[in-house]
Amino acid sequence: MKNHHNIISANQLHKNQNDPNLIILDATINKVIDKASIRIPNARFFDIKKKFSDISAPFPSTLPSKAQFETEAQNLGINKASWIVVYDDKGIYSSTRVWWLFKVFGFKNVAVLDGGLPEWQQHNLPVENYTNESYTKGDFEADFHTNLMTNFEGVNQFLKDENTLIIDARSQARFQCLVDEPKAGLRRGTIPNSKNLPYPDLFEGHTLKSVVELSRIFSNLVEEKKTLVFSCGSGITACILALAATLCNFKTNLIVYDGSWTEYGSLTD
């Protein structure tokens, strides 16, 4: 099976589990892998924090280099001919970050499991415990699409562009500076002229709302803009907005602000 639709249901994945080119990735953040850890059968752990981020960077979950991403993807046995389904244990959370990373590094045949592990288990589909495994090195090759990510300097340029809208996925309370940021020492604040779309507003239970509903939500927020830049706390949930906008087939440039408020709030007064 080839999946170019960016999202896949639990039942669709279950029907295709025996496809030899399928690779399932568990993108749960800060997961401790031991004998008690459960997974969708044959899933491989995608370690966002330690292997697929630049750990030398000052901000969390920073985009890795092309060479790092390519090497770590190959170590997971990912090939040019693979098709990837990624999930996490919250429903849809960090899985979208992995989906976006593959897009950034030029791999299109990747989909997010709608509802993640909770939805999978709700359908009484099989799970198993993790075991120690090694994989035959894959032939994945990265092609860095720099236009899909931006940084502090890029955001400051976008702020000068009237055809760009920055959308923040944080909660309304955080966006309106009513509560402290969860990261210790990080000031409250908001990127100037940005708008707020809390990512939980896009869900019905564990799964995303219908494309019709998602389109209505975005249409109430987005005017005619050529570029949408998605931000959040540290570049994770911004990717949920990017997925939803992609599903709505927006004819605009979709960009994720990698450092998001953690970077912006740290580098501005």
Percentage of residues in the chain having pLDDT higher than 90: 90
Tens of pLDDT, residue by residue over 188-216, are: 999 999 999 999 999 999 999 999 999 99
Are the folds of 7-144 and 147-267 the same?
yes
7-144, superfamily in CATH?
Answer: Rhodanese-like domain (3.40.250.10)
What pLDDT is stored for residue 220 in this prediction?
A: 87
Q: Any catalytic annotation for residue 232?
A: yes
Look up the pTM and report it.
0.96
| Spans of all domains in the chain | 7-144, 147-267
pLDDT in tens, 218-252: 988 987 789 999 999 999 999 999 999 999 998 78
User: How many Å apart are CA 98 and CA 37, to the nearest integer?
Assistant: 20
Catalytic entry in 177, 232, 239, 248 = 232
Confidence class for position 4, pLDDT limits 50, 70, 90:
low
- 147-267 is classed CATH 3.40.50.620: no
